[in-house]
């Protein structure tokens, strides 16, 4: 998109009025950027044709700061929802896109975010087919909030269900943990780590669909450990299936700089948010083959088995720690509060 002159530098309340100013903003930025046959009808909504089983997932994005190392809120808005659809074992095709913009957001920032959304949508192969833009008074928002809803067709070979998990199933993680959360935190709090940590936000749908092509119903569950981190996702799984989860600390992939930053802040990387990784729970017979396949993909290069499902300690996640002994892993409750005396 060429640099366009809209005649104003920032979004104001008029852009949310529904009147001509809104129309101008939509035409010049949104429709221009996302142009496709569905959107071009400029109707109240879009009519799509889908056969068979469908997956739908929605998410709102309220991250602060909106620009961070490794991406911006636009990356998250697409990848987050695309990945959620993918975690259902589906192939994401369409996306809705709704903005709530705080009065005063620089037009350049808005455009940058819209462009990022476009880039990610193209990369993950989804079309933006409906949307909305609202503007709220200064102080009633935090620059920009985005909501997206994703639609996708369930992969013909997929049979994703926690009910299929059985003892002995392997837990595979696609890449290093805690990267996104630490990137956001260091930026938000102005923490100057010697090394720079970037968000890992990316779309995972093609890798997921490749895995489903090869392993189909031997894959019992996909989950992306976003908010609350790996600990919260594994705890949820354990209590959903009333079985135990065993993981091995030494197997957990984590970048040295991320680990060092967590250590310095006294944070447990298991609780830190991720964006570009996912957890698979799979039949043990395919585990090593699946890891091999993942490692060939640039989004799964550091894929590794981190543990397994067990009949012991139902509902509990236990980590075999590096220094010996077993540690209880509990879901995150609010912020990380100190517990030690």
Partner 1 sequence: MSKSFKIIMTGRVQGVGFRPHVFNLAQKFGLKGSVSNNEEGVIIYLSGEFEKIQQFYKTLIQQPPKLAKIRDHYLSEITHRTFDGFSIVPSQTEGKLNLQLTPDFAICDTCKEEITDPNNRRYHYPFATCVNCGPRWAITNKFPFERDHTNMAVFEMCDSCVTEYQDSSNRRFHSQTNSCSHCGIELKLTDAKGDTISGEDAIQKTASFIKDGNIVAIKNTSGYLLCCDATNPLAIQKLRERKRRPTKPFAILYPSLSLLKQHLKVSKIQEEILTSPESPIVIIPKTDLDGNLAVEELAPHLNQLGIMLPYSGILHLLATELGIPIVATSGNIHASPIISDADMAHHELAEVADYFLNHNLEITNPQDDSVVKYSNRLHEKVIFRRSRGLSPNFDAEVKTDKKILAMGGHLKSTLAFIPNDYLYISQYLGNLDHFDVYDRYMNTAAKYTKLFEVLPETILVDKHPAYNSTLHGMELGKKWNIPVASVQHHKAHFASVLGEHGLFDRNTPILGVVWDGTGYGDDSQIWGGEFFTYHHQAMERVGHFEYFDWLASDKMAKEPRISFFSLADAAMNEEIQQKFSKEEISIYRHLKKKELLKTSSVGRLFDAVASLLNICDLNTYEGEAAILLENQVHQYLLENCTSYISEINDGIVPTHLLFAKIHHDYRSGRDKQEIIVDFLFTLTTMVIKMAEQQNIKEIAMSGGVFQNTVLVDMIKELAGSEYKLYFNRNLSPNDENISFGQVAYHQYIKH
Q: Write the binding mask 74 to 93 for Mg ion: x where contact by CB under 5 A, - elsewhere.
A: ----------x---------
Instruction: Pick between residue 123 and residue 327 the one whose CB is nearest to partner 1.
Output: 327
Q: Out of partner 1, Mg ion, none, which partner does residue 155 contact, by CB within 5 to 8 A per kind? A: none
Q: Out of partner 1, Mg ion, none, which partner does residue 59 contact, by CB within 5 to 8 A per kind? A: Mg ion
Phi/psi for 46 (5° steps) reads: -125, 145
Binding test (CB under 5 A) with Mg ion, winner from 32, 59, 115, 236 = 59
DSSP state of 245: E
**Torsion-angle region of 252 (φ positive above 0: left; ψ -120 to 50: alpha; else: beta):** beta
Instruction: Pick between residue 234 and residue 287 the one whose CB is nearest to partner 1.
Output: 234
Asked if residue 184 lies in contact with residue 66, where contact means CB atoms within 8 angstroms, the answer is no
Q: What's the min distance (Å) between Cβ of 311 and partner 1?
A: 14
Q: CA 294, CA 300: separation in Å to the nearest integer?
A: 5
Instruction: Pick between residue 57 and residue 246 the one whose CB is nearest to Mg ion.
Output: 57
- The footprint of partner 1 (CB under 8 A) covers 189-194, 263-267, 313, 316, 318, 321, 323-328, 330, 333-334, 336-341
Q: What's the min distance (Å) between Cβ of 276 and partner 1?
A: 25
- Among 213, 206, 196, CA closest to 290: 213
- Among 165, 152, 245, 256, CA closest to 204: 152
Q: Out of Mg ion, partner 1, none, which partner does residue 29 contact, by CB within 5 to 8 A per kind? A: none
Q: What's the min distance (Å) between Cβ of 79 and Mg ion?
A: 11
Q: Out of Mg ion, partner 1, none, which partner does residue 213 contact, by CB within 5 to 8 A per kind? A: none
Q: CA 238, CA 46: separation in Å to the nearest integer?
A: 39
Alpha carbon 279 to its chain centroid, in Å, reads: 12
Find tokens 């529904």 and name the residue: 18
Q: What's the min distance (Å) between Cβ of 138 and partner 1?
A: 22
Alpha carbon 341 to its chain centroid, in Å, reads: 36
Q: CA 204, CA 152: separation in Å to the nearest integer?
A: 14
Q: Out of Mg ion, partner 1, none, which partner does residue 263 contact, by CB within 5 to 8 A per kind? A: partner 1
Which chain residues interact with Mg ion by CB under 5 A?
59, 84
């Amino acid at each position: 998109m060429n640099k366009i002159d809209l005649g104003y530098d920032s979004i104001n309340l008029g852009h949310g009025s529904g009147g001509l100013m809104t129309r101008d903003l939509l035409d010049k930025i949104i429709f221009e950027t996302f142009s496709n046959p569905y959107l071009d009808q400029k109707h109240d909504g879009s009519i799509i044709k889908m056969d068979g089983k469908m997956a739908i997932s929605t998410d709102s994005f309220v991250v602060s700061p909106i620009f961070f190392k490794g991406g911006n809120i636009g990356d998250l808005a697409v990848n987050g929802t695309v990945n959620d659809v993918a975690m259902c074992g589906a192939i994401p095709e369409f996306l809705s896109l709704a903005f709530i913009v705080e009065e005063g957001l620089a037009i350049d920032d808005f455009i940058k975010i819209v462009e990022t959304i476009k880039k990610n949508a193209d990369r993950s192969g989804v079309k933006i087919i409906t949307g909305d833009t609202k503007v709220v008074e200064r102080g009633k928002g935090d620059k920009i909030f985005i909501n997206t809803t994703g639609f996708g067709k369930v992969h013909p070979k997929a049979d994703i269900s926690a009910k299929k998990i059985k003892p002995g199933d392997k837990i595979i993680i696609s890449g290093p943990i805690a990267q996104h959360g630490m990137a956001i935190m260091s930026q938000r709090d102005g923490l100057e780590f010697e090394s720079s940590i970037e968000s890992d936000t990316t779309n995972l749908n093609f890798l997921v669909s490749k895995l489903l092509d090869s392993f189909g119903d031997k894959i019992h569950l996909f989950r992306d450990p976003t908010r609350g981190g790996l600990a919260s996702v594994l705890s949820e799984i354990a209590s959903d299936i009333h079985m135990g989860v065993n993981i091995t600390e030494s197997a957990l992939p984590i970048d040295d700089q991320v680990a060092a930053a967590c250590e310095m802040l006294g944070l447990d990387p298991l609780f830190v948010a991720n964006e570009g990784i996912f957890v698979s729970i799979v039949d043990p017979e395919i585990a090593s083959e699946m890891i091999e396949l993942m490692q060939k993909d640039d989004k799964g290069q550091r894929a590794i088995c981190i543990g397994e499902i067990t009949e012991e300690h139902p509902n509990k996640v236990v980590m075999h720690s590096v220094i010996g002994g077993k540690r209880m892993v509990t879901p995150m409750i609010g912020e990380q509060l100190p517990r030690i005396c």
